[in-house]
Amino acid sequence: MLKWTIGEAKLTSIPESETPTSPKFMFKGVDKESVKARAEAAPWLKTFVSEEGYLLQKIHCVVIDTGEHRIAVDTCIGNDKQRGNELWRELQGPFLEDMAEAGYPPESITHVICTHLHVDHVGWNTRLVDGKWVPTFENARYLFVNNEFEHWKTAPDLMGDDVFGDSVAPIHDAGLADLVGSDHKVNDQVWFESTPGHTPGHISVVVESAGERAIITGDMTHSPIQIADPELSTNFDTDQDAARATRHEAFARWADGETLIIGTHFGTPSAGRMVADGDTYKLEV
């Protein structure tokens, strides 16, 4: 359970799963041999890929504790959900117990941020109680970017699952959803940064306190190999060209050697300081 301190804010990673992932699942035309070659060319990547060429990936929620607010960013896959991906179907994991052990029981969360509304970012928004999906974080305001919400309200899910129906709509129906802009400010230490392309209303989350800064990426970059190659878009990007443009623009600003970049799917250690590396970038961990 990784922890970071950004000024007066405390950030805690609550992992749901961490597994090697086939690069073909993520990227068209990228196989394990290609991943190994990329790691040889950029040795810093070896922290984030296996010797066999698998991507070392994680699904985790980051809790931002500013003292006044406790903000859960991206709520993973969730238990009991009917999913086409057999690895995600009807999970029975200890995620909520792990949150409580870290000092963040569900009732203590004041805000939930979803960087976007894909299956592995909204699952614990709800839990199954007496056959009904109810909000997990009953004292929280759930912050959804308006055009992201409107898009997935009618668009089919990438894998054919009823993600909106079981993990987003119940929040809106319960009156706990706030539909906000992609530049929304939660408080003086936490705000959104628009990073579209992976989905229409995708955002990353900025944490800034006492002169220190962190960025929680969401899926504008799934793997550190996209930091080494910002041109590389995933099979799951709604608009691959926009996603590429977003990475180039954002990385140029984030690569100051001081901002902590926390990858929503980066395997342990999951974070580092981004710096320029010739014509591209790397993470110093």
Residues of the domain holding 141: 3-284
For residue 262, give the CATH number of its domain. Answer: 3.60.15.10
Rounded CA gap, 269 and 260, in Å?
Answer: 12
Arithmetic mean of pLDDT, 107-127: 98
As for how many domains the chain has, the answer is: 1
pLDDT at 1: 87
Residue 177 contacts residue 126 (beta carbons within 8 Å) = no
Residue 137 contacts residue 89 (beta carbons within 8 Å) = no
Residues 170-190: tens digit of each pLDDT: 999 999 999 999 999 999 999
Q: Which helix (H) or strand (E) holds 213?
A: strand 212-216
Burial class (CB in 10 A: 0-12, 13-18, 19+), 180: buried
Least confident piece of the model among 65-79, 155-169, 178-192: 155-169
* pLDDT of 34 strictly over 90: yes
pLDDT at 267: 97
Rounded CA gap, 122 and 271, in Å?
Answer: 22
